[in-house]
Amino acid sequence: MNFATTQWSLVISVGNADDESSRSALEWLCNAYWMPLYAYVRRRVKDVHDAQDLTQAFFERLLERDYLADADPNRGRFRSFLLTSFKHFLANEWDKRNAAKRGGGQKVLSLDFSAGDSWHANLSTGDLDAEALFERQWVNTVLTRVMQKLGREQERGGNTRLFAELKQFIGGRSDGANMAEVAPQLGMTGPAARMAVSRLRDRYRELLRSEIAETVTSSADVDDEISHLFSVFSA
């Protein structure tokens, strides 16, 4: 993969919010990965509407001002830059006395807060702090995006039903389902179904690496990021 053309590499290589290609890349990343920040602020702010306003306001600032000057290529990860910038925003740039002005500006991103609230409501957070929730939601976002991409590929290939039945096996766990029972429903033998799952897993891994590559700056960072994300997933 040519890392010079990934989304995050493009952002930090240009490093200018006025550059159209850099702004487009940053918008893509923000649209893809806003929900972890919302999970973070939901843990820190009691009022859900305040949390929504803070999240929206942050992205307005991020996309309209020169925050890219702080995008250090040596840090290598969009995940780190995003959380650090958000913490800075919450600590230094949010004045509660301006609450009446919230919502008055143009929303630069269309954020589906209902999806974020649904995830938050269904999550067994236990004693997770705001940063742990950010990490957990980041992993959830990555894996969800990869599975959606794989599903769209299979749909284009005419394999919608096969994917719907076999996607439960991609993670290596059947969750109570038996592949030997599923295979006849697809008109397949057991070995054929296992081969189909193996191909899906291979493609899933490729898409996972591609998705993560968009948020780091080098091929070496991809493996480190995968290791980190799965350590969060298994925690």
Average pLDDT value for residue range 18-43 = 89
Do 25 and 8 contact (CB within 8 A), yes or no? yes
HSE-CB of 82 using CA atoms within 13 angstroms: 28
pTM for the full model? Answer: 0.84
Q: Based on C-alpha coordinates, what's the Rg of the chain?
A: 20
pLDDT in tens, 84-111: 889 988 887 665 545 445 544 556 677 7
Q: Whose CA is closest to 37, among 130, 114, 148? A: 130
Phi, psi (rounded to 5 degrees) for 127: -100, 20
The Cα-based distances of 3 to 12, 13, 34, 138 in angstroms read: 12, 11, 22, 21
Buried b (16+ CB within 10 A) or exposed e, 21-39: ebbebbbebbebbbbbbbb
pLDDT in tens, 114-154: 776 665 665 555 678 899 999 999 999 999 999 999 999 99
CA-based torsion, 123, 124, 130, 134: positive or negative: negative
